[in-house]
């Protein structure tokens, strides 16, 4: 191979590598819109219990319901799976996040109307409220969406 032919082959290779790099980098600033990398997220809603210390301490679990179904606690999910292996998981899951607060994960949904109920260990209703959550995106972007959270819902509870 002659020296000019080798230099010309190298120039073609360098040009091809440069073209591939430009194509790859241009995907980051595509004229066709933004590439959304997040394919899923979890929206959450906080529940605050309001009442005497005894009333709040008597709450064993909180349940959020909407037209799609009701939340379960991790313990309730484990019991369901033990009793019926392969049982469908609930759409929503509630967990205590403090002495007088609970967090409910609602998947990617943003329920428009909910009912939140606080229960004693014997399933006695200690308090309930219907609410219209006020959702706000707390991550992601306007173009791609992202996780949302709602303003806390207050539930007045009374001791048994």
pLDDT tens for each residue of 65-95: 999 889 988 888 888 878 888 878 788 999 9
Q: Which of 114, 122, 103 is nearest to 62 (CA)?
A: 103
| 15 and 57 in a common domain | no
| 110 and 61 in a common domain | yes
Backbone angles phi, psi at 139, to 5 degrees: -165, 180
| 49 and 27 in a common domain | no
The answer to whether the beta carbons of residues 125 and 157 sit under 8 Å apart is: no
- CB contact burial 22-58 (16+ within 10 A = b; e otherwise): eeeeeeeeeeeeeeeeeeebebbbbbebebeeebbeb
CB-hemisphere CA count at 13 Å for 124? 11
Domains in the chain, number: 2
Domain range spanning residue 23? Answer: 1-33
| 94 and 65 in a common domain | yes
pLDDT tens for each residue of 8-61: 656 555 555 555 445 444 444 455 667 887 678 999 999 999 999 999 999 999
Using alpha carbons, list the distances in angstroms from residue 11 to 4, 15, 18. Answer: 10, 6, 10
pTM of the predicted protein model: 0.72
Q: What average pLDDT does the chain have?
A: 84
pLDDT for 3 beyond 80: no
| 83 and 22 in a common domain | no
């Amino acid at each position: 191979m002659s020296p000019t032919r080798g230099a010309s082959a190298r120039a073609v290779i360098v040009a091809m590598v440069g073209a591939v790099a430009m194509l790859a980098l241009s995907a980051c600033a595509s004229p066709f819109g933004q590439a959304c990398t997040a394919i899923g997220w979890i929206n959450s809603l906080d529940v605050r219990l309001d009442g005497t210390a005894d009333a709040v301490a008597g709450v064993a679990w909180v349940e959020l319901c909407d037209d799609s179904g009701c939340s379960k606690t991790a313990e309730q999910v484990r019991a369901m799976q033990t009793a019926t292996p392969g049982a469908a998981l609930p759409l929503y899951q509630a967990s205590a996040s403090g002495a007088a607060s609970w967090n409910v994960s609602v998947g990617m949904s943003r329920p428009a109307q909910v009912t939140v109920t606080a229960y004693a260990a014997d399933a006695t209703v200690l308090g309930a409220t219907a609410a219209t959550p006020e959702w706000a995106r707390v991550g992601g972007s306007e173009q791609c969406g992202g996780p949302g959270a709602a303003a806390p819902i207050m539930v007045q509870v009374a001791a048994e």
